[in-house]
Amino acid sequence: MKVRLLVAYDGSCFSGFARNQDVVTVAETLEEYIGAICRTPVTITGAGRTDKGVHAYGQVVSFDGPDDLDLGRLQRSLNSRGAGRLVVREVNEADSSFDARFSAIWRRYRYTIINSAVPDVTNRHTSWHVHEPLSLEAMEQACAPLIGLHDFACFCRRPKRDDGIEVSLVRSVLSAGWKRGDGDELIFEITASAFCQQMVRSIVGTLVDVGRGHLTAASMVEILRHGDRRRAGQLAPPWGLSLHEVGY
């Protein structure tokens, strides 16, 4: 049976999604839990490889399970083991061809900022506190150049390959923009077919520099054109970022 999970997790409890030696990751934890419930080893596939400290509300996971797997029991057991740090929101049987990663059409990330003079202790694990006043209008204007097909080398950590072949960092951004949330919340959402490592956090850091007045909205065009990471802004902290939704 091909099984599809909709998963949320507290990124502060994990060293990222992907398996990594000697650290606790979401993938490793899920495989351990599912394997114990199914009484057979399983290998999962995730829609997005979130970094250390990054949260998820809409991560999608797929795996091959036994044909007689009780999906209701699976969800209850996983949520009991996850103890609130890892939550399976939905469990469904999927088509045999479904793959959480390769079947995905787009991914949407959300970044939350608390823009206030005083930090909000209730949101300190899920948002970035920026005490300087930010111009939401300028940050919104700076989003326009991001939309479309671009080389995002200026915002990404370039992967290392043993064969020396340079990895393409061209990505297609479908939408990007800011909105006001509750109280002092500023929420950034960006949707793309795929993302490269640290892309969203680098973009958010640069947009915050625009909001502070350190860069202009027009600077985004030049930053993208030059493709130089040194021209972009700071890297926003991971705890404000969440994989919010995946489209199929």
Mean pLDDT of 93-98: 97
Contact in structure between 9 and 85 (CB atoms under 8 Å): yes
pLDDT of residue 230: 85
- Would you identify the CATH topology of the domain 106-247? Alpha-Beta Plaits (3.30.70)
Contact in structure between 42 and 29 (CB atoms under 8 Å): no
Model confidence at 3: pLDDT above 90? yes
**Rounded distance between C-alpha atoms, residue 110 and residue 90, angstroms:** 20
pTM of the predicted model as reported, rounded to 2 decimal places: 0.94
Model confidence at 164: pLDDT above 70? no
HEC per residue, the chain: CEEEEEEEECHHHCCCCCCCCCCCCHHHHHHHHHHHHHCCCCCCEECCCCCCCCEEEEEEEEEECCCCCCHHHHHHHHHHHHCCCEEEEEEEECCCCCCCCCCCCEEEEEEEEEECCCCCHHHCCCCEEECCCCCHHHHHHCCHHHCEEEECHHHCCCCCCCCCCCCCCEEEEEEEEEEECCCCEEEEEEEECCCCCCHHHHHHHHHHHHHHCCCCCCHHHHHHHHCCHHHCCCCCCHHHEEEEEEEC
CATH 3.30.70.580 fits domain 2-93: yes
Mean pLDDT of 175-191: 97
Domain with CATH 3.30.70.660 in the chain: 106-247
Model confidence at 138: pLDDT above 80? yes
Model confidence at 161: pLDDT above 70? no
pLDDT of residue 229: 84
So which residues are the catalytic ones? 51
**Rounded distance between C-alpha atoms, residue 247 and residue 148, angstroms:** 18
Domain with CATH 3.30.70.580 in the chain: 2-93
